[in-house]
């Protein structure tokens, strides 16, 4: 070939560096709300809209429906990237549920389904999902499936439940690790009606989850963090730090996150609805999601490269470097990557399929602290000496 001949010097550039892997953005809220009088230019009907300044967007959210109150609840906790899909207000609960769940019409998706278009249209992926004030059982079930699809986490209310026993039974509708059930709701002052009204706990959960991701990290659960902008609870919940017979302990033992008022209003409970105990805690699920997407996105550069052993070594080096970084920052307790020959037969390698394995250990939340208290007379041994002194 003509290109094989060269009279002179050629330089062939090789890369011998560990490519940094960037952690995915986790503090992105995705929600469906209603507001027939919202600014359609900011909140187009049934289309995902990216809000970068939540407090300012409240002035364009109208006063009907749920949108303005949900944005206010998020803003009380702090600013966060928020993807909003504004669904039409329904004439009754059944029509509203249909509008919130959404569907595909022509070439566009509506309702919750429109959140799946956020990455292509807005270049962000919602990771914290909810439909505060609209999350009937059928909507909650749809949220759980959507959370699995997006590798996100959803917060839902125990819809229509008046008692803790009803809330516990309601939680049994779910077995997904990507969802948390909350009961009861908060109350707060409403400046539109000049009265105290229900303040959906799910809306505060969305904002607080984003705040925790920014300030602490996705390895910290929602539980025992102060919630801003609320002044009461919608139902009486008995809580004490030590009693195992409290309402809160009963709810938590059945995987329902509840609310308390102790040095401020707080969520109390870290458990998901997972049928698999390996993902019993909220942060176990989110750690798995974040690491999976982070590693996958970080390996984009390697796809379609020639499958040499050096490529696999570069991939392993990159994953191990990221795991060391996460360990050093306290996001995980340990982890490593390796090449397992038993998973990489010559037939698979020849077909362009290579498997790199890695593991990690998430950080457990301290849910149950046991303090052993002993009464002893040992310190009376020096009684006389102490009197003489």
The residues, any chain, with a CB within 8 Å of residue 39's CB and separated by 6 or more, are 60, 61, 62
Please give the mean pLDDT across all residues of the chain.
94
Report pLDDT for 72.
96
Task: Give the tens place of pLDDT for each residue, 344-365.
Answer: 999 999 999 999 999 999 999 9
Q: What is the pLDDT of residue 12?
A: 59
Q: What pTM did the predictor assign?
A: 0.93
pLDDT band at 62 (very low <50, low <70, confident <90, very high): very high
Distance separating alpha carbons of residues 285 and 59, to the nearest angstrom: 35
pLDDT the model gives residue 19: 75
Query: Residues near 362 by Cβ (< 8 Å), separated by ≥ 6?
Result: 219, 281, 283, 284, 287, 288, 332, 333
Cβ contacts of 41 within 8 Å, gap of 6 or more: none
Task: Please state which of the ranges 37-41, 124-128, 382-386 shows the lowest mean pLDDT.
Answer: 382-386
Q: Please compute the mean of the pLDDT values over residues 259-282 and round it to a whole number.
A: 97
Report the distance separating Cα 253 and Cα 257, nearest Å: 9
Q: What is the mean pLDDT of residues 212-225?
A: 97
pLDDT confidence bin for 15, thresholds 50/70/90: low
Query: Which residues, in sequence order, are CB contacts of 10 under 8 Å at separation 6+?
Result: none
Least confident of 5-14, 150-159, 328-337: 5-14
- With cut-offs at 50, 70 and 90, classify the pLDDT of residue 240: very high
Taking residues 14-36, report their average pLDDT: 86
DSSP-derived letter for residue 309 is: H
Whether the CB-CB separation of 61 and 238 falls below 8 Å is answered with no
**What pLDDT, on the 0 to 100 scale, is given for residue 315?**
95
Residue 11 reports pLDDT greater than 80: no
pLDDT above 80 (res 9): no
Mean of pLDDT values over 166-190: 97
- Report the pLDDT value the prediction gives residue 1, as an integer from 0 to 100: 47
Mean pLDDT of 304-331: 96
Look at strands 28-34 and 332-339 and give their pairing.
unpaired
Predicted pLDDT of residue 4: 72
Please give the average per-residue pLDDT across 157-182, as a whole number. Answer: 98
Label residue 142 left, alpha or beta by phi (over 0 means left) and psi (-120 to 50 means alpha).
alpha
- Give residue limits of the domains in the chain: 28-284, 307-389
Torsion of CA 191, 192, 193, 199, to 10 degrees: -70
pLDDT greater than 50 at residue 121:
yes
pLDDT on residue 386: 84
> For residue 192, what pLDDT is reported?
83
CATH no., domain 28-284: 3.40.50.11780
Q: How much is the pLDDT for 14?
A: 56
Local confidence band at 226 (pLDDT 50, 70, 90 cut-offs): very high
Confidence band, pLDDT 50/70/90 cuts, at residue 369: very high
Residue of 126, 128, 132 lying closest to 209 (CA atoms): 128
Residue 95: CB partners within 8 Å, gap ≥ 6?
Answer: none
How much is the average pLDDT of 365-375? 96
pLDDT at 389: 73
106 pLDDT band, cuts 50/70/90, is: confident
For residue 12, report the phi and psi dihedrals to the nearest 5 degrees: -105, 120
pLDDT for the residue 90: 95
Bigger pLDDT: 382 vs 158: 158
In this prediction, residue 368 has a pLDDT band, given cuts at 50, 70 and 90, of very high
User: pLDDT class for 17, splitting at 50, 70, 90?
Assistant: low
């Amino acid at each position: 070939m003509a290109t094989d001949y060269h009279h002179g010097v050629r330089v062939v550039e090789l890369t011998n560096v560990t490519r940094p892997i960037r952690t995915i953005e986790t503090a992105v809220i995705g929600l469906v709300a209603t507001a027939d009088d919202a600014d359609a230019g900011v909140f187009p009907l049934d289309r995902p809209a990216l809000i970068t300044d939540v407090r300012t967007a409240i002035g364009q959210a109208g006063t009907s429906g749920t949108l303005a109150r949900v944005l206010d609840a998020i803003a009380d906790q702090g600013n966060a990237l928020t993807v909003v899909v504004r669904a039409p207000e329904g004439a009754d609960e059944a029509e509203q549920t249909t509008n919130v769940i959404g569907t595909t019409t022509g070439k566009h998706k509506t309702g919750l389904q429109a959140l799946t278009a956020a990455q292509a249209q807005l270049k962000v992926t919602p990771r914290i999902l909810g439909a505060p004030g609209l999350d009937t059982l059928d909507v909650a079930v749809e949220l759980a499936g959507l959370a699995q699809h997006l590798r996100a986490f959803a917060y839902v209310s125990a819809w229509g439940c008046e008692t803790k026993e009803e809330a516990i039974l309601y939680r049994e509708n779910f077995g997904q690790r990507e969802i948390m059930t909350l009961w009861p709701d908060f109350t707060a002052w409403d400046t539109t009606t000049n009265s105290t009204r229900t303040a959906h706990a799910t809306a505060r959960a969305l904002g607080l989850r984003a705040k925790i991701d920014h300030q602490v990290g996705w390895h910290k659960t929602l539980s025992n963090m102060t919630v801003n902008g609320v002044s009461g609870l919608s139902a009486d919940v008995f809580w004490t730090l030590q009693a195992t017979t409290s309402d809160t302990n009963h709810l938590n033992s059945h995987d329902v996150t509840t609310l308390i008022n102790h040095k401020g209003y707080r969520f109390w409970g870290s458990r998901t609805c997972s049928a698999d105990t390996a993902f019993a805690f909220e942060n176990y699920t989110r750690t798995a999601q974040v690491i999976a997407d982070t590693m996958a996105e970080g390996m984009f550069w390697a796809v379609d490269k020639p499958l040499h052993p050096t490529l696999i070594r570069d991939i392993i080096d990159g994953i191990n470097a990221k795991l060391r970084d996460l360990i050093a920052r306290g996001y995980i307790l340990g982890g490593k990557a390796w090449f397992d020959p038993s998973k990489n037969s010559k037939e698979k390698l020849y077909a362009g399929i290579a498997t790199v394995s890695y593991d990690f250990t998430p950080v457990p939340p301290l849910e149950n602290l046991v303090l052993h208290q002993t009464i002893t007379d040992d310190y009376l041994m020096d009684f006389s000496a102490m009197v003489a002194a």
